[in-house]
Amino acid sequence: MREKWLYGLGIVAALLLARNINVMLVDLPDEAFQGSIFRIIFFHVPAAFTCFLCFLAALLAGIMVLARKNLQWDSFGVAAVEVGLAFGAANLITGMIWARIIWGIWWTWDWRLTSMLVCWLLYAGYLVLRRAIEEPTQRARMAAVVSILNFAVVPFVFFSIKWFRTQHPQPVLYGEGKMDSGYRLMLYTNWLPILMIAAILIAIRMRQETQQREVDALRREAHAF
Amino acid sequence: MNDAAARNFTYLAYGLTAAWAILVIYVLTLVSRERKIRAQMNSLQRMLEDKERK
């Protein structure tokens, strides 16, 4: 039943993405100053939003692990962090490619770019920490604490372009930012299938983590004979 | 299309390809992890059945 839901969601996401790419490349006009490279924003920003949502989910999972001591929340937490890292990487890479054309450089150590990279590395550290601890309950507890502490960086990354003078463009979707309504609609319309894909990946990864725990239990049973 | 516009479009293609390539690589790691877990589970179950028979 759950598998069918995931396949269904995948098909809807693929159709929506195909439709969006067609509208983006054929119907939407080039941005006046940036030209066609501007269209990268329709993946760059939704990837960042999805990454932050995944990290928020990991924070909530971490709180639930500590409160309920249920390892299912730990599976959800690790799945959310891994998927968040994948979308975070997509956000960083698309940003660098945009920067090469608009700024003439691949990277600059400004507040937004640096804080996003630090955030990504901190969550990568979460995965490294998990590999270092064998005992499942202890691993879940330590990972929960780290995911709660790591989340402190996320609001800093999000608001850094508002709080500091940066080379990165100012916010276009909140604050005083203005974006043409056609572009804004495209951005949100493209975020929807990306969110669907993230949900599918989290569900699959979460199931794998549960199965891995079953394998570890079987292994202990086999050694106990 | 002038040179700047063509370069712009080429980099847009690079960006979109890179974004999806990252997700495809992640999906491939999920597939390989799934296979590994299934293989481990099957071998452990076989091992436990053998031990029970003995």
Q: What is the pLDDT along chain A (225 residues), one digit of tens a residue?
A: 678 999 999 999 999 999 999 999 998 988 888 888 999 999 999 999 999 999 999 999 999 999 999 999 999 999 999 999 999 999 999 999 999 999 999 999 999 999 999 999 999 999 999 999 988 899 999 999 999 999 999 999 999 988 888 888 887 777 666 788 889 999 999 999 999 999 999 999 999 999 999 898 888 877 766
Burial of A105 (0-12, 13-18, 19+ CB in 10 A): exposed
Contact A40 B15 (CB under 8 A): yes
CA end-to-end distance (rounded Å), chain B: 77
- How far is Cα of residue B24 from the mean position of the Cα atoms in its chain? 6
| Nearest by CB: A215 against B7, B26, B37 | B37
Under 8 Å between Cβ of A191 and A13: no
Q: Which two tokens stand for residue A71?
A: 């390892």
d(CA A49, CA A116): 12
> Which residues in chain A have Cβ-Cβ distances shorter than 8 Å to B44?
215, 218-219, 222
Can you name the residues that pair with A31 across neighbouring β-strands?
Answer: A35
Q: A13 at the B interface (CB within 8 A)? A: no
> Which residues in chain B have Cβ-Cβ distances shorter than 8 Å to A209?
none
Compute how many other C-beta atoms are within 10 angstroms of the C-beta atom of residue A220: 9
ipTM confidence score = 0.89
Contact B19 A93 (CB under 8 A): yes
Contact B16 A40 (CB under 8 A): yes
d(CA A136, CA A25): 48
Shortest distance between the Cα of B52 and any Cα of chain A, in A, equals 9
Shortest distance between the Cα of A218 and any Cα of chain B, in A, equals 7
- Per-residue pLDDT reduced to its tens digit, B6-25: 888 999 999 999 999 999 99
Burial of A166 (0-12, 13-18, 19+ CB in 10 A): middle
Residue A104, phi-psi category: left (phi > 0), alpha (psi -120 to 50), beta (remainder): left
- Per-residue pLDDT reduced to its tens digit, A79-127: 999 999 999 999 999 999 999 999 999 999 999 999 999 999 999 999 9
